[in-house]
Amino acid sequence: MRYIGILLLITLVQGCVKPYNPNVHSPGTGYLVVEGNLNSGPATTNIILSRSIPLSDTASEVYENTAVVTVEGSDGTSFTSTALDSAGIYAFGVLPLDNTKTYRLNIKTADGNQYLSNYVRVIPTPPIDSISNNEQSDGVHVYVNAHNPANNTHYYLWNYVETWEYHSAEETELKYVKDSGTVVARLPWEEIYTCWESDISTSLLLYSTAKLGQDVVSQAPLLLIPRNSDKLMVEYSVIATQCGLSDSAYNYLLLMQSNTENLGSIFDPLPSALKGNIQCVTDPSQTVVGFVNASGSQQKRVFINSPADWDDYPTCYLKDTVLPKDPVILAWYFADVTPHPVPIGPNGDPDPPPSELYIPLGSSLMPPGWTSNIEECIDCRLKGGSTTKPSFWP
């Protein structure tokens, strides 16, 4: 995680803009950054430890990989994590947290420092009632609905994973085999027309019912699928995870949201100092970034079909090319083996073929040769997806 430096712009000085960079001090190893939620439900608990780096540093994230991380209960219980990999992930599995007790995080790093969070109570998390959607002029808006009859949650956090099916502009049933110089049928697992792609939420999705008469979440915005996005070309699914927050955790995340998402102009609020509930007990002067919260989590998945008026269907910008069933021409197009002499195009210049051609569906019925096109029009994987069908897909 990168810490946020503050940049003040001084304007109206002979029409120029002069940046001012304050002296922001960071220790040589960076601030310790703690991410994760102590999960009291059936889901596992993962804590991620990393170090902050200056905004001017081009290095990737620096993870804290050799720490000892435990969860301690006010009743003397203790749970030790297992370091999963080199990405600073410490896994606890399923934590049997007691809602009548409080818990804290205890972190000991390789440099000899110890960090303790405040003891926190376990916040109840009610189920998600529904995930609804509404098509508007700018796209499809997706909402979360929930309620807690016990009226004791009040503060909510959501994240989501979205997955969608999409197709390439043209479908192919044949392929060129370079070794043999022949065209053969594609096997079922070589199909490159249908793909699935996934993405995760990147914003802090917060909601409070504290000022309402009842603990009811009604049409809380989750995400927007922009109009004409290929996410709704065929079928779309989103799984939302809901967590309850303490009022302190909510206010901390609300301030973080303001610092990171609302700094677009000089009229936006200035960044504020984030003070979490984790302290370095061996060196109290150290800054620690993060807030420990304990709660259950609830999930719900829905599928959304493509609206009738959704018109983002792929088209190929290049017309199909009909190739004669000539091994020399096929090798030129598909294997980049240049024939001698090189064919001359209509304008009198050498006529190089498009690269990496594929053979669309049904072309075997089109004499006098194979109908071909460029891979961008045929291979759905080039848009970032995978041909592996997700296990939850219908």
Amino acid, single-letter form, for residue 164 = W
Quick: pLDDT tens for 109-124: 999 999 999 999 999 9
User: For residue 228, what pLDDT is reported?
Assistant: 80
Determine the Cα–Cα distance for residues 70 and 49; give it in Å rounded to an integer.
Answer: 13
User: Does 65 reside within a domain?
Assistant: yes
Does residue 372 belong to any structural domain of this protein?
A: no
DSSP 240-272: EEEEE--HHHHHHHHHHHHHHHS-SSTTSPPP-
Spatial separation of the C-alpha atoms in residues 44 and 32, rounded to whole Å:
23
- Average pLDDT value for residue range 26-42: 85
* Pick from 158, 160, 316: nearest CA to 225: 160
Domain count, the chain: 1
What distance in Å separates the CA atoms of residue 71 and residue 1, rounded to the nearest whole number? 23
In a domain, residue 162? The reply is: no
How far, in Å, CA of 270 to CA of 341, rounded?
A: 69
- What average pLDDT does this structure show over 288-307? 95
The answer to whether residue 20 sits within a structural domain is yes
DSSP H helix total and E strand total for the chain: 2, 29
Share of the chain above pLDDT 70, in %: 81
Residue 241 falls inside a structural domain: no
Whether residue 390 lies inside any domain: the answer is no
Residue 202 in any domain: the answer is no
Q: Is pLDDT of 12 > 50?
A: no
Check: CB of residue 164 under 8 Å from CB of residue 232: yes
pLDDT at 194 > cutoff 50: yes
Q: Is residue 377 part of a domain?
A: no
Q: Rounded distance, CA 132 to CA 141, Å?
A: 8
Three-state DSSP at 20 gives strand
Q: Is the pTM higher than 0.75?
A: yes
Cβ atoms 4, 24 nearer than 8 A: no
Q: Is 292 in contact with 105 (CB distance < 8 Å)?
A: yes
Instruction: State how far the Cα of 244 lies from the Cα of 293, in Å rounded to an integer.
Output: 9
Q: Which residues lie across from 58 on neighbouring strands?
A: none
**For residues 103 and 122, is the Cβ–Cβ distance under 8 A?**
yes
Q: What is the pLDDT of residues 351-387, one digit of tens each?
A: 655 544 455 555 554 456 677 788 888 999 999 999 9
Residue 174: band (very low, low, confident or very high) from pLDDT cuts 50, 70, 90: confident
- Lowest mean pLDDT, pick from 139-143, 282-286, 361-365: 361-365
- Tens digits of residue pLDDT in 200-233: 999 999 999 999 999 999 999 999 999 888 999 9
Tokens encoding 355: 């690269």
Structure confidence at residue 278 (pLDDT): 97
Rounded CA-CA distance 235/222 in Å is: 18
CA distance 247 to 389: 41
**pLDDT at residue 360, as a whole number:** 57
Query: How does DSSP classify residue 87?
Result: T
Report residue 21 as tokens: 């960079």
Per-residue model confidence (pLDDT) at position 263: 55
pLDDT at 353: 58
Q: Is the confidence at residue 62, as pLDDT, over 60? A: yes
* Amino acid 118: pLDDT: 97
Higher pLDDT, 240 or 86: 240
Residue type, 83: A
**Percent of all residues in the chain with a pLDDT value above 90, rounded to a whole number:** 59
The domain in which residue 108 lies consists of 8-117+247-292
